[in-house]
Structure 1
Amino acid sequence: MSGKIAINLLSISPKSSTGSFVYIKNLLDSLFALDTDSLYFLIIDNASRTYFIKRFKNYPNVKYHAVSIRRDLLLNPVRALLKLWAKIKKDRRRREAIIKGEVQRFLDKKRINLMFFPSGTMYPAGLKNIKTVTTVFDLQHEYFPNNFSNAYLARRRTDTAYASHNSDRIIAISEFTKRSIVEKYEINPDKIIVIYLAPQQEKDSRPSLSGLPANFIFYPAAIWLHKNHRILIEATKVLKSKFPNLHLVFTGMTKSKKIKEELYALTEAYGLTDRIHFFGFVPDEDMPSIYKQAKALVYPSSFEGFGIPLVEAFKFGTPVIAADNSSISEVVGGAGILFKTGDLGMLTKGIERILSDDSLRGDLIKKGRERAKDFSWDASARKTLDVLNHLC
């Protein structure tokens, strides 16, 4: 393809380690390498400028436009407007209106008529004379509204519904997400294209992360209510007598301090502080060594739009046991053990089978490696480019 495409990254922070950010950085790496004929303009927040310029410095077809509310205000000769800065910073509508004006002027000046929103949010909304593609990750808020504060729930519902109705094309990261969009928002399924995610691309991975126990199962997930860390602590307690050397490793950011404190308290109450390890955020380059050494990836989450750790485990030869819900069963296919969500008995039995049955373990590793071939960022980039091409 040869043309100009804007990619809106205003709703994403490089400090995030969420699946959406993993998606964005890996997809764009592959997309920019694949399509060297087009000129891509990244619309970024001024605070993110340094990260993105460094991240994509090897692609001459990538340009940048950093949005700064304060800079926009300074362009106005009326200095008194600066006194409104504190109010504007807190007022989402007013802030969005200012950003919208700046982005619209940039698009008009560069004569860009196609914008890709890979972060799931069309921000700013209401841009004119532009065709749009938006990636929607999941509709968890429609299934588990209690997982969100009232304010965030309202905002998420509004943003996702707006993107679903107003995008010219929607990229859904799983068939489950596509069905959710169609059912919850009554969207024509023909405008939704399913494009799977993939394992993170390895770059300068370290051989081994210090502090790992010798014998452990592994769960990489931010501490949120729906991730169900608690059931793994319960399972570790049940398995303690039969597997006295088994440890449990958690990695991932803390999204809820309250839940983290509850998990720590439960670990202490069960006398498992020497067996359960909370590593917190772990850099990308350290993750491969954890996958490779783990006896199993155990994934008890009650809801996922995709579940990147599942395909990463397949890639690294780590057996998988996962809860049977949302997109998880779709991604796992027949390459892992599925258990009924929240069923402690099924979960512990599945872990026990993986740890005790070498034949089963070998079979799961083989099936996982084969399943991993179905997911690649190059394939995702090619399909994404096809969607963009369709609108040019």
Structure 2
Amino acid sequence: MDTQKLNIACVFEGDIESGGGFQTQLSTILILSKNDKYKITAFTFSNKNKELLIKHGLDVVCLKTSIFDKILKIFSLQIWFQILRFKWKTTFEKKLDNHSIDLVYFLSPSSLALYLLNHNYIYTVWDLCHRDMLEFPEVNYYREFEVREILYNNAPKKAVAVLTDSELGKSNVIRRYNLDESRVFSSSFSPSINIVESNFIDIKKKYNIDVDYIYYPAQFWAHKNHIYIIDAIVKLKKKGILLAAVFSGSDKGNLKYILDYAKKLNVEDLIHYIGFAPNEEIYYLYKQSLALVMPSYFGPTNIPPLEAFAIGTPVIYSDLDGLREQVEGAALLCDLNNSGHLVEHLESLINNSEKRTELIQLGYKRLEELQKYSIDQTLIKIFDDYSVKLKCWKFL
């Protein structure tokens, strides 16, 4: 008789200012926690994350990494250490033992998977942009490329299941890292839980914006391509059209360059950097904008288009493999080699309210289609299949 629930550890890493990745993890774990078929315990390494997750009603284990853990991780990847089969466990795995965890689910592409000795796990691959767009410094400089290759050449291969965000992401990880196709799954990640209407905020008034604006929530990495938007705003200004851009997100090293670029082209008064957007403002930042404009080079999917679809905001997106499939006809697509293309799309929305309404309706429909293949449904199937195998060596 089944008397015990499958005990799953959901590993929650990062911080709120890391952006979409953090929100994706939060949305996913909250969806899973509502299914009482399994016992879900969150494992995190931040007191802020602990407080946030407890606030949402989750059981949480907060860990600290010791010096011994750091030394052990260095040795664990050495061939001689693996051959000798030392059975030393990290603090993380000891805690998994203490809580009788049956299966570990890494909500993000975590390096912790490399150091597990006795626990099966589900692994998440968000993107392989270090291979797709290796020109960008954030995935190339200071051996970031090599670090990611070590991770993806090892962690997914030992996973009982690998989760990707799209069919393109699935095919890429199988092809590049020689994975078993039957163990790789694609599903749509969920929008942020913060895209809900709250006490009204007049965005233009708060940020002293005198004209219509477009919105772009993105960390200031080079690949986010804020430059493309500034170039389009310059071209619009030359045509007598004043349109502002609101940028929100943390500085990852490229913010000063972006702001200096806007100043050099005499449009600094049209560029509004508001820092990391407060949760209570996110809904209105989208809702009151002319459109979400996201000319990112990285994919194959992103969270902001899903948020815009849910709120009812038109989307202008990159015309790249994976990204165009994510929105599938529900967004205006841009050639990233030609900022004039963005200018044309913006003029069409400014001059044609029917076009804007049409895009909003298409966005609602696209989000509904994507939710048919939501990540929680995929995970439930993986959990159930694993439970059957687990009975071969453990009572459930």
Partner of 2:42: 42
Partners of 1:319 and 1:283 in 2: CA distance: 22
Taking a change above 3 Å as real, the CA distance of residues 42 and 199 of structure 1, as seen in their structure-2 partners, is closer
Taking a change above 3 Å as real, the CA distance of residues 376 and 17 of structure 1, as seen in their structure-2 partners, is farther
Q: Deviations over 1:122-153 (max 9, x none)?
A: 40424233221111100011122232323222
Alignment counterpart, residue 7 of structure 2, candidates 4, 8, 22: 4
1:93 maps to a residue whose letter is: I
Give the C-alpha shift of residue 161 in structure 1: 2.3
Partners of 1:89 and 1:130 in 2: CA distance: 19
Partner of 2:160: 168
Partners of 1:220 and 1:166 in 2: CA distance: 35
What is the TM-score normalised by the length of structure 2?
0.84
Taking a change above 3 Å as real, the CA distance of residues 200 and 377 of structure 1, as seen in their structure-2 partners, is farther
Matches within 5 A, 1:379-390: 379-390=374-385
Partner of 1:244: 241
CA contact (8 A) 2:218 2:248 kept: yes
Taking a change above 3 Å as real, the CA distance of residues 191 and 226 of structure 1, as seen in their structure-2 partners, is same
Alignment counterpart, residue 104 of structure 2, candidates 108, 115, 125: 115
Partners of 1:177 and 1:384 in 2: CA distance: 17
Partner of 1:13: 14
Taking a change above 3 Å as real, the CA distance of residues 93 and 299 of structure 1, as seen in their structure-2 partners, is same
Taking a change above 3 Å as real, the CA distance of residues 333 and 158 of structure 1, as seen in their structure-2 partners, is same
Matches within 5 A, 1:182-197: 182-197=174-189
Partners of 2:72 and 2:235 in 1: CA distance: 50
CA contact (8 A) 2:294 2:316 kept: yes
Taking a change above 3 Å as real, the CA distance of residues 50 and 215 of structure 1, as seen in their structure-2 partners, is closer
Give the C-alpha shift of residue 314 in structure 1: 1.3
Taking a change above 3 Å as real, the CA distance of residues 314 and 36 of structure 1, as seen in their structure-2 partners, is same
CA contact (8 A) 1:133 1:388 kept: no
Give the C-alpha shift of residue 204 in structure 1: 6.8
Alignment counterpart, residue 298 of structure 1, candidates 293, 299, 321: 293
Matches within 5 A, 1:1-392: 2-9=5-12, 12-33=13-34, 35-45=35-45, 48-57=46-55, 59=57, 62-70=58-66, 85=67, 93=74, 100-147=89-136, 148=139, 149-202=141-194, 205-208=198-201, 209=203, 210-211=206-207, 213=209, 214-256=211-253, 259-376=254-371, 379-392=374-387
Give me the identity figure in percent: 24
Q: Deviations over 1:11-37 (max 9, x none)?
A: x2234332221111111111101x223
Question: What SS does the corresponding residue of 1:373 show, helix, strand or coil?
Answer: helix
CA contact (8 A) 1:299 1:321 kept: yes
Q: Deviations over 1:236-293 (max 9, x none)?
A: 000014353311111111112xx32221121111111211111121122211101110
CA contact (8 A) 1:206 1:286 kept: no
CA contact (8 A) 2:17 2:250 kept: no
Moved more, 201-210 or 15-24: 201-210
Give the C-alpha shift of residue 91 in structure 1: 8.6
CA contact (8 A) 2:50 2:62 kept: no
Taking a change above 3 Å as real, the CA distance of residues 42 and 100 of structure 1, as seen in their structure-2 partners, is farther
Aligned length: 368
CA contact (8 A) 1:31 1:381 kept: yes
Partners of 2:336 and 2:315 in 1: CA distance: 15
Partners of 2:276 and 2:101 in 1: CA distance: 38
CA contact (8 A) 1:26 1:377 kept: no
Question: What SS does the corresponding residue of 1:155 show, helix, strand or coil?
Answer: helix
Taking a change above 3 Å as real, the CA distance of residues 88 and 120 of structure 1, as seen in their structure-2 partners, is closer
Question: What SS does the corresponding residue of 1:335 show, helix, strand or coil?
Answer: coil
Give the C-alpha shift of residue 350 in structure 1: 1.6
Taking a change above 3 Å as real, the CA distance of residues 339 and 146 of structure 1, as seen in their structure-2 partners, is closer
Question: What SS does the corresponding residue of 1:31 show, helix, strand or coil?
Answer: helix
Give the C-alpha shift of residue 355 in structure 1: 1.5
For structure 1, list consecutive stretches of 5 or more residues without a partner in the other structure: 71-84
Give the C-alpha shift of residue 107 in structure 1: 3.3
1:113 maps to a residue whose letter is: D
CA contact (8 A) 1:4 1:38 kept: yes
CA contact (8 A) 2:113 2:121 kept: no
Partners of 1:128 and 1:100 in 2: CA distance: 7
Partners of 1:305 and 1:378 in 2: CA distance: 16
CA contact (8 A) 2:224 2:298 kept: yes
Give the C-alpha shift of residue 360 in structure 1: 1.6
Taking a change above 3 Å as real, the CA distance of residues 53 and 40 of structure 1, as seen in their structure-2 partners, is farther
For structure 2, list consecutive stretches of 5 or more residues without a partner in the other structure: 78-85, 388-396
Give the C-alpha shift of residue 178 in structure 1: 0.8
